Amino acid sequence: MSVDKDTVKKIARLARLDVPEDRQEQIAGELNAILSWIEELGEVDTSAVEPLASVTGHSLPLRADKVTDGNKVDDILANAPEQASGFFVVPKVVE
């Protein structure tokens, strides 16, 4: 499973990172070095092993379906790069 320039382009797109054309080759090399090191895991027989997603051992707690917070529009917008009339402003997404 080797990463080439096209794969770098595809991953960068999925990750919403602008990776310039002239850096893609180098990044492919770096990712391949890390991935080939990780290939070591292939030696381990995990055919009967349940994946471990959390070490807590407890199931996620549920709480009452009640509003416990809110009315903080100013706090929420305080760090926005651009805002107007109580909303975040983003570049146009619909024509």
Partner 1 sequence: MENYLNLTATQARTALQKKEISATELTQAYIAAAEATKSLNNYVCMTADKALEMAANSDKRIADGSAGSLEGLPIGVKDLFCTAGVETTACSAILKGFVPAYESTVTSQLWRDGAVMLGKLNCDEFAMGSANETSVFGPAVNPWSANGEVDLAAGGSSGGSASSVAAGSALMATGTDTGGSIRQPAAFCGVVGMKPTYGRCSRWGIVAFASSLDQAGPFTRDVADSALMFASMAGHDAKDSTSADAVLPDLQTALQASVKGMKIGIPKEYVMDGMDEAITALWQQGQEWLVEAGAELVPISLPHTRYALPTYYIIAPAEASSNLARYDGVRYGARVEAGQSLDDMYEATRAAGFGDEVQRRIMIGTYALSAGYYDAYYLKAQQVRRLIKNDFDEAFDKVDAILTPATPSAAFPLGVKQDDPITMYLNDVFTVPANLAGIPGISVPAGFSQTGLPLGLQVLSGAFREDTLYKVAACLEKQAGFTGQPPRHALAAG
CA distance linking residue 21 with residue 8, whole number of Å: 10
Q: Does 67 sit near partner 1 (CB under 8 A)?
A: no
Q: Which of 70, 82, 84, 86 binds partner 1 (CB under 8 A)?
A: 82
Quick check: 84 binds partner 1 (CB under 8 A)?
A: no
Does position 21 interact with partner 1 (CB under 8 A)? The reply is: no
Among 60, 64, 67, 84, binds partner 1 (CB under 8 A): 60
**Bridge partners of residue 84, in order along the sequence:** 87
Q: Are 77 and 85 in contact (CB under 8 A)?
A: no
